[in-house]
Amino acid sequence: MPFNICDAGGNHIGFIYRQFPGDNNVFLAALTELEADDTIVDISKIETHVANAYNCKNLLGKVNRDKLNDILDSKLRDCCEQTGITDRRDFLVYLYLKDTFTKGYLPLEKAMRDSIDVSKIKGYLLLDIRKIELRDGKIYLDSEPDYIDDETVDSSPPVFAKIVDYPVLYTDIMGTADGLIFGADLTDFGGRNHAHTTTLKLLSGNCEKVLDLPVYIQARKGMNIQLYMEGNKINKVFCNGVIYKF
């Protein structure tokens, strides 16, 4: 199934798990020995979404499977050599991932079942769906992720990444007049009138992403970094042996 991901050597490393917050094109790829199958992916929801995207529903809102299958077979013939997919059902999933998110995008987590054991997920990589390379019906990463660390600092799995450009540090110093205008009181000027931001360019999976983090991070180009999320927000970073919470 095209949810599954292999490294450059063809070894299974995980599957597409859910959307990265704030970016419809970037997914979290779970690093796990589990493989995406019917126990994890709700294929009926994907079928309904693809049918809706390609106008394959009747007046009662039910899937017109004959029309949908004709479209799938036609596109499958055109893409078979490129994708390595020969199974119509796998191609349905491929269309969902690669194409239909631009036609009324269905958040990935709504197509996943609740039976995933998160304790079996080591961490995540980022996957830009616009850059995926598909062979033999699976997604392949074109480089080895050498930034996946054995040591983590939280019970929840982190996003593993590498810093690929020089970090940029910003310090905004609030003057007394500015502070009073914006609602600060005099106690805010006892060393607490500085706002720090660190801008990092990260590589994770097949995705390069620039993040602005609201904390001063002592990081360097080439270092590994772990991002921890609570809900849809990054709230903790682990880099060079230091934990940053914000």
pLDDT in tens, 42-100: 888 888 888 988 899 888 889 999 999 999 999 888 887 777 788 888 888 888 877 65
Q: How many domains does the chain have?
A: 2
Are 167 and 213 in a shared domain? yes
pLDDT reading at 105 higher than 90: no
160, 108 in Cβ contact below 8 A?
no
pLDDT in tens, 82-97: 777 888 888 888 888 7
Give the domain extent around 188: 159-245
Are 131 and 163 in a shared domain? no
Are 134 and 20 in a shared domain? yes
Distance of alpha carbon 132 from its chain centroid, rounded?
12
Are 170 and 59 in a shared domain? no
Length of the chain counted residue by residue: 246
The three state secondary structure string of the chain is CCCEEECCCCCEEEEEEEECCCCCCEEEEEECCCCCCCCCECHHHHHHHHHHHCCCECCCCCECHHHHHHHHHHHHHHHHHHHCCCCHHHHHHHHHHHCHHHCCCCCHHHHECCCCCHHHCCEEEEEEHHHCEEECCEEECCCCCCCCCCCCCCCCCCEEEEECCCCEEEEEECCHHHHHHCCCCHHHHCCCCEEEEEEEEEEECCEEEEEEECCCCCCCCCCEEEEEEECCEEEEEEECCEEEEC
Are 17 and 98 in a shared domain? yes
pLDDT score at 216 = 93
pLDDT score at 175 = 52
Are 32 and 123 in a shared domain? yes
Evaluate whether residue 52 is within a structural domain: yes
Start-to-end CA span in the chain (Å): 38
Give the span between the Cα atoms of 164 and 117, in whole angstroms: 32
The average pLDDT across 125-146 equals 85
Of 140, 168, 185, at which residue does a domain stop?
140
Percentage of residues in the chain with pLDDT exceeding 90? 43
- Residue type at position 246: F
Give the span between the Cα atoms of 156 and 30, in whole angstroms: 12
192, 231 in Cβ contact below 8 A?
no
Are 134 and 203 in a shared domain? no
Are 207 and 133 in a shared domain? no
Evaluate whether residue 166 is within a structural domain: yes
Are 171 and 78 in a shared domain? no
Neighbours of 12 (CB within 10 A): 14
Closest CA to 89 of 43, 41, 129, 48: 43
Evaluate whether residue 230 is within a structural domain: yes
196: tokens are: 């720090």
Evaluate whether residue 173 is within a structural domain: yes
pLDDT score at 20 = 87
Of 140, 172, 206, at which residue does a domain stop?
140
Output the pTM of the full model: 0.80
Evaluate whether residue 115 is within a structural domain: yes
Are 11 and 132 in a shared domain? yes
pLDDT confidence tier of residue 189, bands split at 50, 70 and 90: very low
Evaluate whether residue 146 is within a structural domain: no
Are 82 and 197 in a shared domain? no
Are 166 and 128 in a shared domain? no
Neighbours of 96 (CB within 10 A): 24
pLDDT score at 123 = 97
27: tokens are: 């997914």
Which of 104-108, 160-164, 196-200, 234-238 is predicted least confidently? 104-108
